[in-house]
Amino acid sequence: MKVVTPAQMATIDRQAIEGRKLPGLLLMEHAGLKVLEALKRELPDWQSQRYLVVAGTGNNAGDGFVVARNLARAGAVVGVELVRGDGNVHGDARTNLDSLAAYGIEVFHARPGHPLRSVLADTTLVFDAMLGTGARGELSGDYREAVENINQAKKRVVAIDVPTGLDAATGQVQGPAVRASFTVTMGLPKLGFFQQPAPEYLGRLYVAEIGFPPTLLADRELERELLFGCDLAGLYPARKEDSHKGDYGRVLVIGGSRGMVGAAVLAARSAVRAGAGLVKLVVPASQQPVAASMTPEVMTYAAQETTHGTFSRDAVGACRELSQWADVTLIGPGLGRGAQIDAFVRELVATADGPMVLDADALHALEPGRPLPVGDFLATPHAGELSRWLGVESTTVRARRAEIAVEAARTLGATLVLKGPYSQVAGPDGRLAISPTGNPGMASGGSGDVLAGILLALRGLPGMASFDAMRLAVYLHGLAGDLALESVGGPSVPPTDILGQIPRAFEILRHAAAPIAYDKVRLI
């Protein structure tokens, strides 16, 4: 499913009405009915609630008026509060406002002596229909007061299209914003919904199909997508009956050091679990017996090391030879840090002649701001690692995750994932894919090593492109983490639990014919 900016959604809306001659009233009616559909899914006792639609003046308010009218038709108790008065409501929204009288719906006007909070006292659920996705900047005046009153009332809230006060383009809030129990957004999800701190304001997210022509929603110029398992299922090839290990990729892990060999082992074991045909693991010489005892399914090799138990720069030749055997190489898990590691990594990167995954300490070893050589590189940074690589503040990366991920992929020359909530996968061609899977319990040491191993295995498959391997790996890793949390519980999800759920994640993906519960975003 495509992800759009508010400006792109406004263009789609305009093209549908002006170019395709779809009546705006029809789209508004569909939007309101979809909000009711989401309400019925969330609240089995929806008919017993007392509702208040808090409305602004534009089309977002019009959607709210449709909700109010249809609730009244169903026998529910509902009122409407106009934040700015009815003299400011025009067009299709006005038509729907005028229809409320026929159903006996009381329309209130916020004014001195009749504050919103007095109406909220008798309400059990509020619909936020104040401002749409085009609103930007900090709230002031009547809207600010209305949002503050709604939040203070601590009622269940349904946001129509976007919680008022949340910037749908950036995910930022600049002052008070409605904290919704769930949000129903129209047409396509908005980019800002998957940036921090937006999710804590959205609640559960529903994306409503309200009748836009499918060709408008699938425009090739829309370069951002939200990943669903059913859309990814076809990327992983089914195994042939007549198979051998050479059919499923030869992969190499370069990693480990004294005290951190477990990171490299996790990556290698994850590659095996994710289907790699042959896996080799090279570690510093003193760590090879340890690694071999932990991974009987993996071929282990000893490399020259420093007195600190890390890779020596002299190990480059042996590692390069092993890398030439592999279809794809992973470097980084548990490497450690230091001048020799920096030189070791930079020389291997400079001479890479095949796909290479850069993770963890390998990212730290790269020269900040310097693009990678021309090649096929995949990188798995978190915000701190990417900020160092780009030479910018980590707060900047966290505040502009999608934008920074795309910019980094282009300027540094890599397919990368900016890890975190709603991990952002970016390609050097400008594409962006956002994964809905994963949970806070996965913020645990070793989780990234499991992701790196899954990615290594997928990129090693014949014909698997780097961007496809990355988005599939990120989705599966998050799904395995969700399954582990569900199976074992939290608050933390250890990487070994994630690793153990990889086969089940693949099985769920293979049978996904429609969005699944783990996709988190609901389609209606």
Which domains does the chain show, CATH number per domain?
Answer: 6-220 (3.40.50.10260), 247-514 (3.40.1190.20)
Instruction: Characterize 143-158 residue by residue with b for buried, 16 or more Cβ atoms within 10 angstroms of its Cβ, and e for exposed.
Output: bebbbbbbeebebebb
Residues in the chain where the model's pLDDT stays below 50: none
- Note the pLDDT of residue 221: 79
Edge-to-edge order in the sheet of strand 328-331 = 224-226, 432-434, 424-426, 415-418, 377-379, 356-358, 328-331, 250-254, 278-284, 299-303
Give the integer Cα–Cα distance in Å for 205 and 462.
37
Other C-beta atoms lying within 10 Å of the C-beta of residue 45: 7
Residue 459 DSSP SS3:
helix
Other C-beta atoms lying within 10 Å of the C-beta of residue 78: 26
Half-sphere exposure of 48 (CA within 13 A, CB side): 3
- Note the pLDDT of residue 112: 64
Give the integer Cα–Cα distance in Å for 11 and 225.
17
- Note the pLDDT of residue 113: 59
- Note the pLDDT of residue 86: 81
Number of residues in the chain: 524
Mean of all residue pLDDT scores within the chain: 96
Those residues whose C-beta lies under 8 Å from the C-beta of residue 83, and which sit 6 or more positions away, are 54, 55, 56, 57, 110, 116, 130, 142, 143, 146
Q: What is the pTM of this model?
A: 0.94
- Note the pLDDT of residue 114: 63
Give the integer Cα–Cα distance in Å for 34 and 523.
10
- Cβ pair 78, 62 in contact under 8 A: no
CA-CA distances (angstroms) from residue 166 to 135, 146, 201, 207?
A: 8, 14, 8, 17
Peptide bond into 23 cis (omega under 30): no
Residue 425, both tokens: 């996968």
463 CB burial (10 A radius; 0-12, 13-18, 19+):
exposed
Element (H, E) at 31: helix 24-42
